[in-house]
Every structure is written in C-alpha cells, then in structure tokens.
Amino acid sequence: MDPEESHKTGLKLTKKIIKPPIVARVHEMMKYKLDMMSKMWTMQPSVSSLIQVAQNMTALFVYQCEGNKSIQELVNDDALLRRLANEKFDVGISEAVGICGLGLFEALKIPSSIATFSSTYADVLSKSIGEPAAPSYVPGGMATYGDRMNFLERARNAVEGVMGQKIFGIIFSKEIEIFRAKFGSQFRDYGDIIADASYVFTNSNPYLDFPRPMLHKTVSIGGVAVQVDPKKNVLPKEWHSILNERNTTVLVSFGSATKSIYMPDEY
C-alpha cells in the first residue's frame, strides 16, 4: 500500500513476483501519510488512540483487499485468482495484520497456511488459535509497563487486550464480507481460518520477550534474518565510515510505521 516500501521485498531467489497496483482509494488516503505518521510519535498509548489508528487501518486494508473497478482488482480479479490457482501452491504465508492474504489461501484451497505477525504478540491471533490470555503478567501491545503490574495496571491491560481483539476483529470481519460477497455466505469466519494455520510466526525473540503461555504452533523468529557471517555483512562505504567514527555506535530503528523522518523537531 505504501509506494515507498513496495520495493523492499528482501527476495533474492523468487522469480515470479506479482505486485497488485495500489487501489485508487488507498492511494488517495496515502496522500495524508505525513499527517498520520507524525501523529504516531505524539499519540498516547490508550484505547481511544488505538480506535483512531484502527479506523484508518480498517479502511486501508478493506479497500486494498476489495480493489477498485477502475483498476486491476485483487479478490475480484478472476484472471489473477486463476493464475494463482494454477500454481498449485503447497503452502501460503501471509501477515495476519489483515485477513486478506489468509482469505485468498482459503479461496484458492491451498492445503497449508502460515500466519505471521511483524510485532511480538497479537491478542486476536492468540485467541483464534486457542492460546490462553494472561493479562495479569503479560503486557499487551499498548502497555507502557512491564510484567510486574499493580492492580490498576492489570485491569487496564486486560481492558486494552479485549479492545485490541475487538478492533482487529472489526478489520477482519470487514475483509471477510468481501470474500463472502464473491464466494458466498458459506465462506468461513476469520477465527476458523486463523485457527487452521499450521504455524504462527511472530517477530519475537524468546531471550528478550516477556514469558507467556504459547502453543507449539507459535514460533518466535525475531532476528532470524540476521547474518552472523562478516563476509556477508559488508556495509556500503558511507555507512562503514559513519559507524567507524566512534568506538561504539547504537543504531535504532522504529520500523516502517513509525519513521524517524516524521519525528517532531522537539524530540
């Protein structure tokens, strides 16, 4: 959806790459990216701020999944669906911040699926696959405290966890409506689709993350792409000179959603 990120696939061996164009409605919303990205730095972690973010996310994901009749569509693109079906994939892998990818696997009858999440923990995924919630000692995604909480912090953590499930549930349900409009009312609910995933990959490091109850199908793969071979980690000349100016350098990345170029000047 973000044209600035579309080329950052990290793929080296894959030959067949299909990139559906950005839907017109999404492209229009992305014009206000600067305003949205700037607010990410000043927004306070709360239920109300989560709702505000979720409203934008719902519109973006639903529009991109549904497509637009003025350009090539996704779910409604029969030629694309036939092309994908003819590949006869054995497994499909999709990030579950939206259900569109897993929904496509369901429509294409791909026998196995893997749900991924680029954060460390998602209440809605854990609930869907049957992992127990533990808000008394597992901080949620909006928590500003650790695993040692007082009573009020635990209560707030529990409420925010439920709200997070509801908000993601709204996003997923809106996307499922698109599939049901195309394939019929018998199309399965998002909870059943996620529950059938063979694995759930999270961007968590088990040595650094808070301990929590997990099923064996949840696999923490944080840092899996890090190369330890110095011969494969040759930096560009510019970065090599910057990092060698001092004895110790700490590089901090806030991810693609909270970009440092939009950080307020006072920070």
Q: What is the pLDDT of residue 207?
A: 85
Q: Which residues of 37-69 are buried (b: 16+ CB within 10 A; e: fewer)?
A: beebeeeeeeeeebeeebeebbebbbbbbbbbe
- CB atoms inside a 10 Å sphere around CB 140: 21
Determine the Cα–Cα distance for residues 57 and 54; give it in Å rounded to an integer.
Answer: 5
Instruction: Please name every residue paired with 218 in a beta bridge, in sequence order, or none if there are none.
Output: 200
The crossing angle, in degrees rounded to 10, of helices 151-183 and 100-107 is 40
Q: What is the pLDDT of residue 199?
A: 94
- In three-state secondary structure terms, 92 is strand
Determine the Cα–Cα distance for residues 148 and 138; give it in Å rounded to an integer.
Answer: 9
Structure tokens at 170: 């709204």
Q: What is the pLDDT of residue 92?
A: 94
Q: What is the pLDDT of residue 192?
A: 93
Determine the Cα–Cα distance for residues 217 and 207; give it in Å rounded to an integer.
Answer: 18
Q: Which helix (H) or strand (E) holds 147?
A: none
pLDDT (tens digit, 0 to 9) for every residue of the chain, 267 residues total? 555 666 666 677 777 877 766 656 555 555 555 566 666 677 665 656 666 666 666 556 655 565 544 333 677 788 888 999 999 999 999 988 888 889 999 999 999 999 998 888 788 888 889 998 888 998 887 777 888 999 999 998 888 888 878 888 888 888 888 889 889 999 999 999 999 999 999 988 888 888 889 999 999 988 777 777 777 778 888 988 888 899 888 888 777 667 777 787 887
Q: Which helix (H) or strand (E) holds 50?
A: helix 47-66
8: Cα separation from own chain's centroid = 15
pLDDT tens digits, 238-258: 988 888 899 888 888 777 667
